[in-house]
Structure 1
Amino acid sequence: MSRPSALDHTWTDGQLADAVQVSSNWRGVLRELGLNTTSAGTIRIVRRQVVQLGLDTSHFRGKRRWSDAQLKQATSESQSWDEVLSLLGLSANGGGMRTHVRSHAIRLGLDYSHLEAIPVVPEPRMFTTDLRHLRDAGACIAASWFTLCGCSVLFPIEPAAYDLVVGRADGLSRVQVKTTTYYGKDGWLAAIGRRPYSIRKDAPLMPYDPDVIDYFLIIDGDLNIYLIPSRVIAGRVQVLLRTYKKYIVGNAGGLLGASESGPDPQLGARASA
């Protein structure tokens, strides 16, 4: 003989309340009411009635060994997740048990802020800029300036006479980037020559062919940015930048947080071009 269906509604509200109180899961409630415990539809009907009556099901555990009520109590009485697990009879080393319990606490909307370790926020690392690194930073500063001008910037993947290719509406320009940290008696001096790759590093500088380079972008120790057409300084291997002030197009001094006192006359003794 088959058990009655929930559609028959053969129980009273009091019987349902008693069944909920003595059970630890929904199948237990069905069992107490003499209903088919394998019917998902029956469970839905009974759950709907329980909700309408406002019955407390926080003690239900499902397949868990602890109930919502026990988790609430353990959470309020503990100072760490390890204590919560211990009060629930669980092992702190039991795989993902801590994550499982914490996730359930989240679903229940429990306040567990007192269980969380206060993260140690490391002090921000202090970075110090130094003109000794200007040569390494030159191409990046140049690329950023051109980008802010609305140009596209390309870096050659093979060794070339130019450092950047700059694209704009009227075409492409080849740019050689130079930097200087040498401040002589007359101002910033920039070496703009080159040494062929096959020649030793102490060989004399040779000028760039103005038909191969369109512009020199030069950055001095004050981070002034000069954009000089190659034909203006064709044949030169060194220039005194104060004579090319009209070609200053910008300044990246904010990157250094530079002193308002101006360039250090002794810088030339500490660094060379």
Structure 2
Amino acid sequence: MSEPIHEMRHHLFSERYRVTASVKASGILENLWREHVFCTLWLDNQVQSYNTLLLDVQSEPELLIDLPLHFPEQIEIGAAITLLSRVDGVICGFRSTIIRHDAEGIVLQYPEEIYQLQRRQLFRVPPTVQDPDEVEIYRQGALMVGGRMQDISAGGIRIMSRCPKDHPFQPNEILTQLVFRIRDSQPLHMPAVIRFVDNHVAGATGVVLGVEFQDPPAADQEKVAQYVQTRDREILRMLGIGLRSSAKPSDNSLRTKLKRWWSH
């Protein structure tokens, strides 16, 4: 139920996700190195990503990574990079700069900070029937389009909407803002980008959008994260996780439907 790792590149690096304990931060790098975990590398301001491995994390102030396949030969010293991976299923990463690269690999500046997403904030959760789910989608050079929230995470939202009459939605389209409410909140205003467009789910006149928040206001992002955690706990309680019960829910019960959705 996690967001794709590519979608985390732009909003993982905030203070709330920073690993404050130096021992834990070093342990994350050690795990990536010892377990030979594949990492995803980006050169800043480029869309192309590369797969790599950490080769040496014990030679501070440097960090050695494997030279990715098809990595550009002409890279300026000091070029900024972003690296993301998963440790025990949880997305983590850091930002750094290239010191040099040669036959052994790419030498990076040892990262000053490590960031890790909290496990519960990886999940998408659907709103309840009582929760607000209306979304206003504001676009550049096009009319506002209304939609309904299907589910939401700390990093984005999935929306069912109608197909626009003026300009069709496109992947990577920048949205001026999304306006929506969550439980007990005033309207939230989130700059966003469309990550996928699915025209085959909602029928001939409908479309499902996967949308990622882009540099949202910190206070609003905190409200979304808290709502996601609250809904996650509610769903776990409804599924009966951690509760003893000899009764089996009927196939038509909300609990059964949620279990099917949650395992999707």
**More strand per residue:** 2
- Choose between structure 1 and 2: higher helix proportion: 1
Smaller-chain TM-score bracket:
under 0.3
Which of the pair has the greater relative contact order for Cα pairs under 8 Å at 6+ separation? 2
Greater CA radius of gyration, 1 or 2?
1
TM-score after normalising by structure 1: 0.23
> What's the TM-score, normalizing by structure 2?
0.24
